[in-house]
Chain A
């Protein structure tokens, strides 16, 4: 008797869930299901209403994981793209990616898209396709607010500069500014800690990442970004190589988001809190998706 009652409840639940699921699918299909069946990421988004998106988990302001929640500018950009592909926030599965595993994750299909401070360069273009860039970063320096003698990379001689082991910014300091003393750690958070304690004079990486650290509440007012970028790092959205139609679709979404204010809103809600005004998305620089 008890068993059959449990069964009845379960069946009821399953029915209710199935029903609501069917309704959700139906209404979503109405808005995005125009045109012939698509392939690639766009096709998957239309058919399953789900996307797996690779993001960074340790970059304040860009992609930061707290508990099971992810937040930051990359996350907001990913949400905009997913929404216009017909995938709600509940349909996004966030996946933490790190710098070395991004290409492999895309190639193996572990993730559909990568929005993870992903600099577009020729070597990476051989393995994945890029949409975007949605932001153009540049390597910059983070110093204490009262520091007046570090005004740019040329003032680094004899100074202690901190970056992360194996990163591109660290390499650039080693080759282009060999007179600077380079302190390496395994994470930027340690660099920022060392800067706060005064054991290094500057922290270097992409300006947008530095702005993210400067915007963290515990460092408010203590650090400033020098503001003289000495490299160009266009951040793109990575997807499977050859998925040209999806790439073009994402570029169209970015263009639309830039004109209707969603891009600025995404910035203001995340990195804008550092006091940096929202950049304008230069749609003429978008990749040709080749």
Chain B
């Protein structure tokens, strides 16, 4: 364990997991909001919106995340000039990574919410319409609150997957845990297995409680019918 007794190594190890948490947090919030919007589009009566939602899900859900992240750097930033920070490379790369992660994860959030919408009995929407509610009101006040509460547990799975997917942002230069693990292994060829176990163990330690938390939330928030 001589690798982690070196304070410099401990610092990069801790900062790498802090970055994972930041990436997960930022991308998670954006993906949640945008994914619900996408789901609303996919069930809306407007064909253009439905088409957009379907296209988004099919494109991003079926493209490997490494390619999406690659595109965020070489497509969005290098060729299209989408820049989050001119003078801070790390900040720029971080948000390019968040963009890719959020675009990808939103597709999964959208499909999860849509499956949640199917759990709401059709009579609920009929009743709302009978009361004179518009489509927006029906969705916002009646359907979505029930739909999202029924898919809390799958949201937990998406969040866990997102946290692990965040390591892919390392490929465009964000020093998250997988990159730092590679660096430590490169510097300490004699301690490959211990380093690997520490990084894998940290992920498990962070994500197992997340799974239980969402399981507990799912039970608490379930709609009783």
User: Which residues of A are at the interface with B, using a C-beta cutoff of 8 A?
Assistant: 99-104, 123-124, 127, 160, 165-168, 171, 181-186, 190, 193-194, 197-199
Residue B186, interface by CB 8 Å = yes
A194 touches B78 (CB 8 A): yes
Q: Which residues of A contact B78 (CB under 8 A)?
A: 194, 197-199
Most buried by B among A103, A165, A182, A190: A165
A166 touches B89 (CB 8 A): no
Least CB distance from A157 to B in Å reads 13
A165-B170, A199-B77 given as contacts; is B175 within 8 A of A104 (CB)? no
A182 closest partner in B (C-beta)? B89
Residue B79, interface by CB 8 Å = yes
27 examples of A-B residue contacts, CB within 8 angstroms: A100-B186, A100-B192, A102-B189, A103-B190, A104-B189, A104-B192, A160-B89, A165-B173, A165-B175, A166-B180, A166-B184, A166-B186, A171-B183, A171-B187, A181-B89, A182-B173, A183-B89, A183-B93, A183-B173, A184-B173, A185-B171, A185-B172, A186-B171, A186-B179, A190-B70, A194-B73, A197-B78
Least CB distance from B48 to A in Å reads 34
Least CB distance from A118 to B in Å reads 12
User: Which residues of B are at the interface with A, using a C-beta cutoff of 8 A?
Assistant: 70, 73-74, 77-79, 89, 93, 170-173, 175, 179-180, 182-187, 189-190, 192
CB < 8 Å: which of B74, B186, B187, B189 contacts A127?
Answer: B189
B183 touches A166 (CB 8 A): yes
Complex: how many Å from CA A165 to CA B73? Answer: 16
Least CB distance from A184 to B in Å reads 4
Complex: how many Å from CA A206 to CA B217? Answer: 53
Per CB-CB distance, the 9 closest pairs between chain A and chain B, nearest first, are A166-B183, A184-B173, A166-B182, A165-B179, A166-B186, A186-B171, A199-B78, A100-B185, A197-B78
Q: Which residues of B contact A194 (CB under 8 A)?
A: 73-74, 78
Least CB distance from A101 to B in Å reads 8
Most buried by A among B74, B77, B189: B189
Q: Which residues of B contact A198 (CB under 8 A)?
A: 78
Q: Which residues of A contact B77 (CB under 8 A)?
A: 199
Q: Which residues of A contact B171 (CB under 8 A)?
A: 185-186, 190
Q: Identify 16 new A-B residue pairs, CB closer than 8 A, beyond the known A102-B189, A194-B78, A198-B78.
A: A100-B185, A103-B189, A104-B192, A127-B190, A160-B89, A166-B179, A166-B182, A166-B184, A183-B93, A184-B179, A185-B172, A185-B173, A190-B171, A193-B74, A197-B74, A199-B77
Complex: how many Å from CA A165 to CA B174? Answer: 9
Least CB distance from B45 to A in Å reads 43
A100 touches B189 (CB 8 A): yes
A100 touches B182 (CB 8 A): yes
B89 closest partner in A (C-beta)? A181
A165 touches B183 (CB 8 A): yes
B74 touches A165 (CB 8 A): no
A186 touches B170 (CB 8 A): yes
Q: Which residues of A contact B79 (CB under 8 A)?
A: 197
Complex: how many Å from CA A78 to CA B183? Answer: 28
